[in-house]
Amino acid sequence: MREIKDMLTEWAAYFVDNYKVNGYPKQSAFVNERVQDNNRSTESYVDRDLPADAKAVDAEIAAMSPPHRAIIREHYTKRGSMREHAKNLKLNAATYCTVLRFIHDHLAHKLNAKNT
C-alpha cells in the first residue's frame, strides 16, 4: 500500500494545479493546442516529461468516476487534514476515508496486475 501512496504522491507533483476539485480538468485539452508547424512535434508537453509510473497512475485515475477522481485529487494535490478535504467535498469524514481506502486498494490491484 505504501508503494501506491508513493506513486500517487509522485503523480500529484505533476498535476497540482491542473484540475478543479470536482474531478474535471479546468479547461479542455484542445484549448491549449497550437497550430502545428512542420518542425514541431505533435507530442504533448506533459507526455514527454511524465515518468512511466506516473503515466500508468494517471491512466487508472482517468478511468475512475468523477467523484473518485475528485477525492484522489483533493487528497494528493491540496493541503489540509482529511476532515478539511471531506468538508471541501461535502462528505463526512468516515465516507471520505472509506472511499479513499477503496481507491488505494483499487489502484494497488490494477497497477500490480499490470506490473506482473
- pLDDT band at residue 36, thresholds of 50, 70 and 90? low
Total number of domains constituting the chain? 1
The backbone torsions φ and ψ at residue 21, rounded to the nearest 5 degrees and listed phi first, read -65, -25
Q: Kindly report the average pLDDT of the chain as a whole number.
A: 77
Domain housing 39: 2-115
pLDDT at 28: 52
**Who wins on pLDDT, 18 or 82?**
82
pLDDT at 45: 46
Listed residue (28, 14, 110) closest to 64, CA to CA: 110
Distances in whole angstroms, Cα of residue 1 to Cα of each of 34, 102, 108, 110: 40, 11, 7, 12
pTM: 0.68
Predicted confidence (pLDDT) per residue in 50-62, tens digit:
778 888 888 899 9
Predicted confidence (pLDDT) per residue in 90-106, tens digit:
999 999 999 999 999 99
d(CA 91, CA 84): 10
